[in-house]
Amino acid sequence: MANDLRPHPRADLILAAARTCLGVRFRPQGRTTEGLDCLGLALFCCETLGLGVPPPPAIGMRGCAPEEARRQLLLRGFALRPTGRALAGDLLVASPGALQLHFAIFTGAGVIEADMGLRRVVERPWPWALPIFDAWCFPTGEI
């Protein structure tokens, strides 16, 4: 599926999983529905798909270059979309500041994200305020 324009075959499940997290409190390094950060939300969607995607050790809120994020996502079976071609159910990677990464699930009409400022997982309409540098299709099989 690398770089093509087909939606993930289970995009509806990815979106449903992300929406079950709406209202879950934000917690730095949160990896359960007791508290999630943006990476935790993405990993929760992977778990819902039945994917054994290990958390990337080098990706954190601060200090991770976009190149390292790309390397980690590729190693975990994510497929990079062509620039500006995100589809519903894709993982968006944004950069709110220098060496800062933020992940969100694209709904087709907006994003679902763990918002540190609002302290919970929220769904926002498009356009999103953060600069996006990549869109990724979730893996389609066991990693």
CATH number, domain of 87, equals 3.90.1720.10
Helix axes 11-20, 38-48, angle to 10 degrees: 130
The average confidence (pLDDT) of the chain is 88
pLDDT surpassing 50 at residue 16: yes
What is the pLDDT, as a whole number, of residue 72? 86
pLDDT surpassing 50 at residue 143: no
Range of the domain at 78: 11-137
pTM above 0.85, yes or no: yes
Residue 70 domain-assigned? Answer: yes
pLDDT surpassing 80 at residue 86: yes
- Alpha carbons 70 and 91: distance in angstroms, whole number: 12
pLDDT surpassing 60 at residue 141: yes
> What is the tally of structural domains in the chain?
1
Residue 101 domain-assigned? Answer: yes
What is the pLDDT, as a whole number, of residue 62? 60
Residue 143 domain-assigned? Answer: no
pLDDT surpassing 80 at residue 38: yes
Residue 102 domain-assigned? Answer: yes
What is the pLDDT, as a whole number, of residue 121? 98
Residue 85 domain-assigned? Answer: yes
Cis ω before 82 (30° cut-off from 0): no
Helix (H) or strand (E) holding 104: strand 102-106
Residue 16 domain-assigned? Answer: yes
Residue 5 domain-assigned? Answer: no
What is the pLDDT, as a whole number, of residue 128? 87
What is the pLDDT, as a whole number, of residue 76? 87
pLDDT surpassing 70 at residue 4: no
The per-residue pLDDT for range 106-117, each reduced to its tens digit, is 999 999 999 999
Residue 59 domain-assigned? Answer: yes
